[in-house]
């Protein structure tokens, strides 16, 4: 399977790259480990994507992008990256036992939620511990839950949980919330919230399912339990770049080093979206990256042909 452009990962940046590369009449393929959409596909409501005055559901936006990309010829394959060779010509990617070749590669593998790595987290994953409000919120109807993380993701997703749950105990390590001001105001006005700022999660407790969490007040060092039947965790993201070690330059935090042209340290290999080392990570910036990378990939392919 030989492509002009091969995209690794199907988030908004990758799908946008697929749209632009396809419209440029490049033979374009995409390898996605699950289904296109990335983290956006698990977001209940997006209010800051241009063109949607009343907001848009994440899954709806991603399905529309996928449909548009397929319209312009994007071929989507399911697989997990096993090995790479960016030095060969064409470049070589092996995924789930299948070998693909491409003149240019665009990496759009995104990020995954960070773990707390505390007792009970792994044991109760899927049995009370969740990282996706849209996926699991309805299972906690009329129950008390703990939300860990006071950033924009944590507060945004916890606001969605208020549709179902009885009470939200929001635990934040810092002594203040870091979410966008509009989200903070909505949460503080909602009577379902109790805020535990400047508190540290110590453990998630229970027998067959989650029954409580143990937290510590960082100012007084006092540890105590909060009864809860569910724990939703949003404490940051880890870039999906382990498979790229020793292939391209990656910064100490695991993000791909790439310029504003999205070019990595290897000619013909580009990085887009949240996996790229940059200050702002939003759907709009991922879409912008996808556009830029596709345009530069086109120039690279043409230069190789010439």
Judge contact between 290 and 20, C-beta under 8 A: yes
d(CA 7, CA 248): 16
Query: Is residue 144 annotated as part of the catalytic site, yes or no?
Result: no
With tokens 């990085």, the residue in question is 271
Which residues fall within 8 angstroms of residue 99, CB to CB, at 6 or more apart?
1, 92, 93
Q: Active site residue: 4, 54, 60, 132, which one?
A: 132
Which residues fall within 8 angstroms of residue 128, CB to CB, at 6 or more apart?
204, 206, 209, 210, 229, 230, 231
Query: Is residue 132 annotated as part of the catalytic site, yes or no?
Result: yes
Q: Active site residue: 60, 112, 135, 175, which one?
A: 135
Query: Is residue 262 annotated as part of the catalytic site, yes or no?
Result: no
d(CA 255, CA 237): 11
Compute, in degrees rounded to 10, the torsion defined by CA atoms 75, 76, 79, 82.
50
Please give the structure tokens belonging to residue 199: 């508190």
Q: What is the CA radius of gyration of the chain?
A: 21
Residues with catalytic roles = 132, 135-136
């Amino acid at each position: 399977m030989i492509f002009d452009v091969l995209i690794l990962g199907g988030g908004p940046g990758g799908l946008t790259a697929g749209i632009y590369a396809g419209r440029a009449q490049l033979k374009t393929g995409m390898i996605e480990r699950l289904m296109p959409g990335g983290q956006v596909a698990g977001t209940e409501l997006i209010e800051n994507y241009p063109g949607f005055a009343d907001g848009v559901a994440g899954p709806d936006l991603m399905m529309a992008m996928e449909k548009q990309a397929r319209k312009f010829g994007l071929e989507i394959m399911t697989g997990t990256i096993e090995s790479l060779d960016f030095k060969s010509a064409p470049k070589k990617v092996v995924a789930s036992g299948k070998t693909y070749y491409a003149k240019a590669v665009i990496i759009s593998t995104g990020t995954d939620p960070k773990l707390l790595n505390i007792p009970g987290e792994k044991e109760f994953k899927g049995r009370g511990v969740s990282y996706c409000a849209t996926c699991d919120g309805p299972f906690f109807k009329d129950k008390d839950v703990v939300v860990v993380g006071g950033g924009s993701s944590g507060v945004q997703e916890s606001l969605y949980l208020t549709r179902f749950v009885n009470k939200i105990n929001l635990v934040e390590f810092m002594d203040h919330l870091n979410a966008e001001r509009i989200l903070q105001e909505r949460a503080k006005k909602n009577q379902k919230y109790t805020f535990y700022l400047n508190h540290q999660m110590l453990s998630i407790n229970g027998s067959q399912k989650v029954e409580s969490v143990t937290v510590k007040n960082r100012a007084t060092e006092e540890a105590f339990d909060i009864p809860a039947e569910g724990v939703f965790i949003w404490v940051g993201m880890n870039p999906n770049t382990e498979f790229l070690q020793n292939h391209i330059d990656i910064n100490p935090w695991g993000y791909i080093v790439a310029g504003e042209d999205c070019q990595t340290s290897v000619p013909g290999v580009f990085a887009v979206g949240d996996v790229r080392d940059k200050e702002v990570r939003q759907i709009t910036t991922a879409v912008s990256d996808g556009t830029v990378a596709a345009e530069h990939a086109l120039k690279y392919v043409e230069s190789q042909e010439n």
